[in-house]
Amino acid sequence: MSGTHPSDEVLQQFILERAACTAEEIIHIGSCPDCQAATAAYEALTIELASRPVPAFDFDLAAAVIAQLAGAAVPTQEIPRVKQRKAGSMLTIVLIAAFIGIPFWLFRRSAYFVFTDMSAVFYWLVLAASGIVVGLFLFRLYRKYQQVIRLIN
């Protein structure tokens, strides 16, 4: 469409939500053969979209679900899986806490000196390492975002 014609978005709006169009847009479309032809194309499309065959399942869904419920297969499948996952997470947390906490507790008297005797280089190294990890994480997130946007477009 040329610059003077309303955009495709407006033409669709003209068919689907005419009240959202401005008076100028309505007047233009009403008097412009190109826009009328374009809106006719959209009108034909929306009519066809609404009259398409409705998707349906080719089996008795209600009977299948009721049979599963009657067999009580659902709770025995679902609940243990959730419980297992929760138990796994708890175990991981306990192991991490033990891995950090036990050495710290054993060497708690000398822990202060561990940090006081560290050189500035060490602190900068820790800081740089953390920065790199966070940076990589953000970069990965950004890449994923870009990927989704590219696919959408």
Partner 1 sequence: MLTDRQLVDLVLAGDMHAFRRMVEMTERLVAQIVNKLIQIEEDRKDVAQDVYLKAFQNLKGFRFQSKLSTWLGQIAYNTCLNRLKKKQLSIYGPLERVAGGLEDDMRYDHFRAVDETDRLLLQKELKGLLEAEIGRLPPIYQTLIGLYHQEALSYQEITRITGLPEGTVKSYLFRARRELKDSMLSRYKKEKL
**Residue ranges in contact with partner 1 by CB under 8 A:** 1-2, 8-9, 12, 33-34, 37-38, 40-42, 44-50, 52, 54-57, 59, 61-66, 68-69, 74-75, 78, 148, 151-153
Distance CA 111, CA 122 (A): 16
Q: How far is the CB of 1 from partner 1 (least distance, A)?
A: 7
Q: How far is the CB of 141 from partner 1 (least distance, A)?
A: 17
> Which residue, 54 or 121, is less far from partner 1 as judged by CB?
54
Token couple for 24: 């100028």
Q: Given CA atoms 37, 41, 47, 51 in this order, what sign does their dihedral have? A: positive
Distance CA 34, CA 28 (A): 10
> Which residue, 21 or 38, is less far from partner 1 as judged by CB?
38
Distance CA 14, CA 11 (A): 5
